[in-house]
């Protein structure tokens, strides 16, 4: 992966997103339903695209929202639907389109109440705040359950839009649900939107089924159930947060004020061009709070705070900057968070396990063994943690791409979607309680369990090859060693739940690799980790590519 020479720098103003063009194309273009690239396609995080590519526009949102209304009727979901949006330029047009359809279908809908900064207009809603609202409504209920829609393309570039559905468990929809919605939405597109019910936006706002909901207060008022706010308040430390212009931008000042935290909100700017962001590795603007390039500004100011942190645009991912080490690799922070939580949450049951995706660091397994907890290893995707967080069998669920959530102090679900807000505040809590920042705590873990190196690379693969990779069996891997060590496991199903991983994972005692086909590009991804250093990691990567290529050639 070559690094753009401008990575880490502020963008050239002439290359910023042209917002009038972006929004105009949202309303003016019509998708060609015969082109797969212009159909509704739900991936692991909903439908994403851009109006500039006719892959995210008014027709897509009208059809998808109607499909969700139809799904709710099919499943007899009769409670309120919570809907929120982030700060991407296409999010507000999509919010308008969705509300027009929801109101026309008579769906009891909860929209953001607005605040002073938005002049009373519906504001921005982080993914975890919406998940938390769904869980709060549904607690102790067996009927009239709530669900939700989050309008966000996550950390994607400014020209992108995203639209995802969270069912009554508050988490990401599983593939059975997304397939149903996707197929119905594409049928509506093919029918020229015949079957889509719609009223004007003014009528939708005035409809008795549309009610204002204070997402900010609902979420913030419960934070002391999941984070030790008193410890942060009384720590004598200094903390900083950069919302990166995202959906939590109006949350952080209120969090600091309500709990009297020594927390500086570095920026409250909202600008859909995201011109304040440093360029990511490929020279594009991307609100990736785990990227050292996108996070260059916060890293440069690391010495101003004991710990600082940021979240991506919908605030479901976290980036942690420690004074001692700078930006933590997401895998490193997951290990630190797990070790701290399971030794500082005495009310969690003895059986509460640790959820990790199979491409997350094996440091987590070593930490888990050290604290006497079980690891539940699942395929990629946060949806696999939802049931465990709901019933308390998982105390923590986290994935390698800097997304995680965990239980309240008394072992109740807080958010069944990823929550970057509580992961940032947890970094402040552990620093306040232990006197060591997350970077120092990770160094201590490496002294006990070794210091792994981890990387992901992409390799070319056509559609047929990707399909073959997704259907591999362990028996097709005939090698007995990987990078000089005996192979201990060959996996095509996740050990934690037996679900297909859509690829292959090969493990040794000193390292591992996992290969998975990309869902959006003609490549497959190789994740690899070594506990014996960079040279050994490169050897794992080379042998992994040769092994997989050999299998793909038949």
Residues 444 and 460 in one domain: no
Whether the Cβ atoms of residue 292 and residue 314 lie closer than 8 Å to each other: no
Runs of H (alpha helix) within 76-126: 91-104
CA 71 – CA 178 distance, rounded (Å): 10
Which of these three, 449, 481, 496, is where a domain ends?
449
Question: Whole-angstrom distance between the N-terminal and C-terminal Cα of the chain?
Answer: 27
Are 31 and 159 part of one and the same domain?
yes
154 and 262 belong to one structural domain: no
Asked whether residue 11 is assigned to any structural domain, the reply reads: no
User: Looking at the structure, do residues 121 and 258 belong to the same domain, yes or no?
Assistant: no
The answer to whether the beta carbons of residues 75 and 132 sit under 8 Å apart is no
pLDDT greater at residue 160 or residue 472: 160
What is the structure's pLDDT at 524? 84
pLDDT in tens, 38-83: 999 987 678 999 999 999 999 999 999 999 999 999 999 999 999 9
Element (H or E) spanning 318, and its range?
A: strand 318-322
For residue 228, being part of any structural domain is answered with no
Contacts for 301 with CB less than 8 Å, ≥ 6 apart: 240, 266, 308
Write out the E strands in 88-184. Answer: 109-112, 147-151, 160-166
Closest by Cα among 90, 87, 105 to 60: 90
Question: Is 225 inside any structural domain?
Answer: no
For residues 69 and 105, is the Cβ–Cβ distance under 8 A?
yes
3-class secondary structure, 330: helix
How much is the pLDDT for 519? 66
3-state secondary structure of 46: strand
Rounded Cα gap, residues 252 and 248, in angstroms: 7
Name the token pair of 319: 């980036």
**For the chain, what is the total number of helices (H) and then of strands (E)?**
17, 23
| Neighbouring C-beta atoms of residue 43, cutoff 10 Å | 14
Q: Which residues pair with 318 in a beta bridge?
A: 311
pLDDT at 16: 97
Among residues 360, 358, 370, the alpha carbon closest in space to that of 331 is found at 360
* Domain that includes residue 25, residue range: 16-218
Task: Give, for 528, the enclosing helix (H) or strand (E).
Answer: strand 523-530
Q: Token pair for residue 386?
A: 């939802």
Ramachandran angles phi, psi of 440, nearest 5°: -65, -35
- 6 falls within a domain: no
pLDDT of residue 44: 67
Residues 127 and 417: their CA atoms lie apart, in Å, by: 7
How much is the mean pLDDT over the chain? 95
* 59, 195: one domain: yes
- More confident: 349 or 20: 20
My answer on whether 413 and 535 are in the same domain is: no
Contact 279, 11 (CB under 8 A): yes
Q: Which residues contact 2 (CB under 8 A, 6 or more apart)?
A: none
Kindly give the pairing relationship between strand 481-482 and strand 485-486.
antiparallel
Q: How far from chain centre, in Å, is Cα 197?
A: 31
Per-residue pLDDT at 520? 58
Number of domains comprising the chain: 3
Distance (Å, whole) CA 156 – CA 173 = 20
State the DSSP H helix or E strand holding residue 355, giving kind and residue range, or none if neither.
strand 353-357
Kindly state whether residues 87 and 30 are assigned to the same domain: yes
**Do residues 165 and 130 touch, judged by C-beta distance below 8 A?**
no
Question: Is 4 inside any structural domain?
Answer: no
Instruction: Note the pLDDT tens digit of each residue in 320-369.
Output: 999 999 999 999 999 999 999 999 999 999 999 999 999 999 999 999 99
Whole-angstrom distance, CA of residue 420 vs CA of residue 288: 12
Half-sphere exposure of residue 133: CA atoms within 13 angstroms, side-chain side: 31
- Residue 44 burial by CB count (10 A; 0-12/13-18/19+): exposed, middle or buried? middle
Coil vs helix vs strand at 296: helix
Residues 349 and 247 placed together within one structural domain of the fold: yes
Which of 103-112, 115-124, 242-251, 469-478 bottoms out in mean pLDDT, i.e. has the lowest?
Answer: 469-478
Q: Give the Cα separation of 157 and 147 in Å (integer).
A: 27
Active site residue 360: no
Both 125 and 269 in one domain: the answer is: no
- Domain CATH number, residue 408: 3.40.120.10
For residues 393 and 194, give the distance between their C-alpha atoms in angstroms, rounded to a whole number.
45
Q: Mark which of 449, 477, 493 sits at the end of a domain.
A: 449
Whether 271 and 353 share a structural domain: yes
240 shares its domain with 213: no
* Of 503, 331, 328, 298, residue with least CA distance to 403: 331
**Per-residue confidence band for 458, with pLDDT thresholds at 50, 70 and 90:** confident
One domain for residues 269 and 379: yes
Alpha carbon 524 to its chain centroid, in Å, reads 21
Q: How confident is the model at residue 521 (pLDDT cuts 50, 70, 90)?
A: low
Domain boundary among 218, 244, 263: 218
Quick one: which H or E segment has residue 490? strand 489-493
Q: Residue 304: inside a domain, yes or no?
A: yes
Structural Rg of the chain based on CA atoms = 23
pLDDT at 14 over 90: yes
- How far is CA 310 from each of CA 182, 200, 278, 315, 362, rounded to the nearest angstrom? 32, 37, 13, 8, 25
Confidence of residue 475 (pLDDT cuts 50, 70, 90): confident
pLDDT band at 319 (very low <50, low <70, confident <90, very high): very high
The answer to whether position 391 is within a domain reads: yes
Q: Residue 266's CB: how many other CB atoms inside 10 A?
A: 18
Mean pLDDT of 302-329: 97
226 within some domain: no
pLDDT digits (tens, 9 = 90+) for 143-165: 999 999 999 999 999 999 999 99
Question: Annotated catalytic residue: which of 51, 154, 235, 291?
Answer: 154
pLDDT at 245: 98
- The per-residue pLDDT for 1 is 59
Question: What band does 469 get if pLDDT is binned at 50, 70 and 90?
Answer: confident
């Amino acid at each position: 992966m070559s690094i753009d020479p401008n990575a880490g720098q502020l963008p050239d103003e002439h290359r910023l997103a042209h917002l009038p063009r972006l929004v105009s194309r949202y309303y003016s273009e019509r998708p060609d339903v015969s082109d797969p690239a212009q159909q509704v396609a739900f991936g692991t995080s909903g439908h994403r695209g851009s109006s500039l590519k006719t892959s995210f526009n008014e027709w897509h949102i009208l059809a998808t929202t109607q499909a969700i209304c139809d799904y709710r009727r099919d499943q007899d979901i009769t409670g309120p639907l919570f809907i929120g949006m982030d700060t991407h330029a296409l999010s507000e047009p999509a919010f308008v389109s969705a509300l027009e359809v929801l109101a026309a279908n008579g769906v009891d809908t909860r929209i953001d109440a607005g605040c002073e900064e938005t002049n009373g207009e519906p504001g921005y809603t982080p993914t975890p705040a919406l998940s938390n609202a769904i869980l709060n409504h549904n607690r102790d209920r067996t009927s009239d359950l709530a669900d939700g829609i989050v309008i966000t393309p996550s950390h994607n570039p400014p020209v992108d839009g995203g639209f995802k559905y969270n069912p009554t468990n508050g988490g990401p929809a599983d593939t059975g649900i997304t397939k149903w919605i996707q197929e119905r939405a594409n049928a509506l597109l093919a029918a020229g939107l015949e079957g889509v019910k719609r009223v004007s936006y003014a009528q939708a706002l005035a409809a008795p089924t549309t009610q204002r909901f204070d997402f900010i207060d609902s979420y913030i008022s419960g934070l002391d159930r999941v984070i030790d706010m008193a410890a942060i308040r009384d720590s004598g430390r200094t903390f900083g947060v950069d919302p990166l212009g995202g959906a939590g931008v109006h949350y952080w000042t209120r969090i600091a004020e309500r709990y009297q935290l020594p927390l500086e909100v570095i920026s409250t700017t909202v600008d859909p061009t995201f011109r304040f962001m440093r360029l990511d590795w490929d020279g594009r603007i991307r609100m990736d709070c785990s990227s050292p390039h996108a996070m260059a500004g916060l890293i440069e100011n690391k010495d101003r705070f004991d710990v600082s942190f940021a979240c991506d645009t919908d605030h479901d991912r976290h980036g942690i900057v420690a004074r001692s080490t700078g930006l933590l690799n997401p895998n490193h922070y997951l290990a630190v968070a797990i070790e701290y939580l399971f030794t500082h949450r005495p009310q969690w049951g003895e059986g509460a396990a640790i959820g990790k995706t199979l491409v997350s660091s094996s440091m987590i397994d070593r930490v888990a063994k050290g604290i006497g907890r079980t690891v539940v290893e699942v395929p990629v995707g946060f949806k696999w943690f939802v049931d465990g967080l709901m019933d308390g069998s998982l105390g923590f669920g986290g994935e390698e791409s800097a997304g995680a959530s965990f239980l309240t102090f008394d072992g109740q679900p807080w958010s069944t979607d990823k929550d970057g807000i509580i992961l940032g505040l947890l970094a402040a809590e552990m620093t306040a309680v232990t006197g060591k920042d997350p970077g120092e705590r990770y160094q201590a873990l490496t002294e006990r369990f070794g210091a792994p190196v981890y990387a992901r690379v992409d390799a070319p693969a056509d559609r047929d090859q990707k399909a073959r990779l997704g259907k591999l069996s362990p028996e097709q891997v005939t090698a007995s060693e990987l990078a000089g060590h005996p192979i201990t496991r060959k996996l095509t199903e996740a050990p934690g739940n037996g679900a297909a991983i859509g690829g292959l994972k090969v493990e040794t005692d000193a390292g591992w690799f996992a290969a998975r086909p990309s869902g959006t590009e003609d490549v497959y991804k190789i994740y690899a980790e070594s506990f014996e250093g960079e040279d050994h990691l490169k050897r794992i990567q080379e042998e992994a590519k040769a092994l997989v290529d050999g299998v793909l050639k038949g």
